Amino acid sequence: NATSICDVTEAKWEIYEPVVSGCDKTKYIVFTITTNRFLRNMVRAVVCSLVDIGRGRKKPEWICELLEEKNRCAAGQSVPGHALFLVDVKYPYINRNNKIQ
C-alpha cells in the first residue's frame, strides 16, 4: 500500500547531559528520526523495536526482517507517547519566508 511507505533519511540516538546546575545527573537519551511522512504510532513502534534490540531481547538482524516482512504487527508493542514530541516540520514546497513556490 503506497500510503504506508515512508522514506527514512535519518534515525539516530544521542545522549545528553543535564544542562541545569543542581539538576539530577541522569543523562537524557534522545532518538531523532527524519522522514518524508509519519504514520500513526510509527515512531513509537520504531523506538520500541530498537530498545528491544538494545536490551538484547532481539538480534540486530531482526530489524531487517521486520522491514522485509512489511507487517507492523510483527514489530510488537509501541512505547508510551508521553515523552515523545515533534520538533520541526518542513514542507519542500514552502520556503523559509512562508511563501509557496
pLDDT tens digit string along 27-83?
888 889 888 888 888 888 899 999 999 999 999 999 899 888 888 888 878 888 887
Q: Where are the domains of the chain?
A: 2-83
Residues in the chain, how many?
Answer: 101
Q: What is the pTM of this model?
A: 0.73
Torsion angle of C-alpha atoms 88, 91, 75, 11, degrees rounded to 10:
-60
Alpha helices in 10-76 (DSSP H): 42-54, 61-69
pLDDT, position 99: 57
